[in-house]
């Protein structure tokens, strides 16, 4: 399990975001933190192959993204920040089946496996449900299942906790802790990252700090607190 970015340059919105960025991501659990606009989503999109660097290379499990686009869904899955950006089909079973047909499984087998997967999750009654009738948290769960059913080696999650209630957050956290795949997760909820082996703090497209979760989160919190402290009156 490894993601390697070598001297990556990427512009977004007409200005350079990442310049000569190199990262080797081999830990099982990696957090991404930083202010809005620091580049968390762009980094995840690069790794998922949705963004192509102007210079440099991005390799996932030894494969260059540009040369192996068709292997993408089996290798890496990206949970979008907003479920509406990910869901395509009207019903739960169709959405899950599509994850499998996209990697070459025939339609009948895909449907059978989708129903089996739902049953194994204790969600058999969801199969014919309309996606439009699911709550936001349930849609996010569907999106995650749609990724997991394809069995990617790497799971990228972009602020997955943002719209979830506390019990659903806790369930997601347990799920991630036991998942047998590499996970790269961006979030503003630093409490979830304290026990992560590695957290990367991005600032304006650059790595400001990179290390053990507890230390990097503490440094970022201190920086934010310092920025928002009221100005001292001049005596
Ligand atoms: N679709 C887009 N078009 C143009 N610029 C974008 C787009 N998405 C993000 N950007 C720019 O890229 C930079 C990084 O954004 P992003 O990766 O979304 O950061 P984060 O996820 O940390 O909030 C920001 O300056 C943002 O304005
Ligand atoms: Mg983002």
Range list of H helices, the chain = 40-48, 72-75, 92-101, 107-120, 136-148, 166-178, 213-228
DSSP 12-50: ETTEEEEEEEEEEE-SSEEEEE-STTSSHHHHHHHHHTS
User: Residue 1's closest CA among 40, 31, 29?
Assistant: 29
What tens digit of pLDDT does each residue of 98-129 get? Answer: 999 988 899 999 999 999 999 998 999 999 89
For the Cβ of 13 lying below 6 angstroms from any atom of ligand 1, the answer is: yes
Q: Specify the DSSP class assigned to residue 121.
A: T
Residue 101 domain flag: no
For the Cβ of 42 lying below 6 angstroms from any atom of ligand 1, the answer is: yes
Task: Give the residue carrying structure tokens 């600032």.
Answer: 203
Which token pair is 168?
């659903």
Measured in angstroms, how far is the CA atom of residue 223 from the centroid of ligand 1?
22
Edge-to-edge strand order for the sheet containing 154-158? 76-79, 154-158, 182-186, 29-33, 198-203, 206-211
Mark 20-34 as b/e (b = at least 16 C-beta within 10 Å): ebebebebebbbbbb
- So what's the pLDDT on residue 31? 97
How many folded domains does the chain comprise? 1
- So what's the pLDDT on residue 61? 81
Round to whole Å and give the CA distance between 29 and 22. Answer: 18
For the Cβ of 41 lying below 6 angstroms from any atom of ligand 1, the answer is: yes
Residue 169 domain flag: yes
Task: Read off the CATH number of the domain in which 204 is found.
Answer: 3.40.50.300
Pocket test for ligand 1, best of 41, 80, 203 (most atoms within 8 A of CB): 41
Residue 213 domain flag: yes
Residue 36 domain flag: yes
- So what's the pLDDT on residue 67? 54
Residue 123 domain flag: no
Round to whole Å and give the CA distance between 216 and 221. Answer: 9
Residue 134 domain flag: no
- So what's the pLDDT on residue 223? 95
Residue 141 domain flag: no
Note residues around ion ligand 2 (Cβ under 5 angstroms). 40-41
Residue 111 domain flag: no
What tens digit of pLDDT does each residue of 212-231 get? Answer: 999 999 999 999 999 877 76
Query: Bridge-partner residues for 5, per DSSP?
Result: 23, 58
pTM of the predicted model, to two decimals? 0.90
For the Cβ of 187 lying below 6 angstroms from any atom of ligand 1, the answer is: no
For the Cβ of 40 lying below 6 angstroms from any atom of ligand 1, the answer is: yes
Determine which residue's CA is closest to atom 25 belonging to ligand 1: 37
Round to whole Å and give the CA distance between 29 and 43. Answer: 16
Q: pLDDT tens digits, the chain, 235 residues: what are they?
A: 689 999 999 999 899 999 999 999 999 999 999 999 999 999 999 999 889 999 999 998 877 766 555 666 678 899 988 888 888 889 999 999 999 998 889 999 999 999 999 999 899 999 989 999 998 888 888 998 999 998 888 999 999 887 788 888 888 888 888 888 999 999 999 998 989 999 999 999 999 999 999 999 999 999 999 987 776 666 6
Expressed as residue numbers, the domain containing 78 is 3-89+153-224
User: Residue 189's closest CA among 168, 205, 206?
Assistant: 168
- So what's the pLDDT on residue 174? 86
């Amino acid at each position: 399990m490894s993601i390697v970015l070598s001297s990556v340059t990427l512009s977004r919105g007409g200005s350079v975001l990442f310049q000569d960025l190199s990262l080797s991501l081999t830990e099982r659990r990696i957090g991404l933190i930083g202010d809005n606009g620091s580049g968390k989503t762009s980094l995840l999109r690069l790794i998922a192959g949705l963004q192509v660097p102007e210079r440099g290379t991005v390799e996932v499990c030894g494969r260059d993204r540009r040369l192996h686009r068709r292997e993408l869904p089996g290798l890496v899955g990206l949970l979008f920040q907003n479920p509406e950006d990910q869901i395509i089909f009207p019903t739960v079973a169709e959405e899950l089946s599509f994850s499998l047909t996209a990697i070459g499984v025939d339609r009948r087998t895909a449907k059978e496996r989708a129903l089996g997967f739902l049953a194994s999750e204790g969600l058999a009654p969801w199969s014919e449900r309309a996606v439009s009738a699911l709550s936001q948290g349930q849609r996010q769960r569907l999106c995650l299942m749609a990724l997991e059913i394809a069995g990617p080696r790497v799971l990228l999650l972009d602020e997955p906790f943002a719209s979830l209630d506390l019990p659903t957050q806790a369930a997601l956290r347990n799920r991630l802790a036991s998942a047998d795949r590499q996970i790269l997760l961006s979030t503003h909820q630093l409490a979830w990252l304290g026990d992560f082996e590695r957290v990367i703090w991005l600032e304006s497209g650059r790595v400001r700090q990179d290390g053990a979760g507890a230390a990097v989160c503490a440094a970022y919190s201190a920086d934010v607190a310092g920025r928002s402290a009221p100005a001292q009156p001049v005596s």
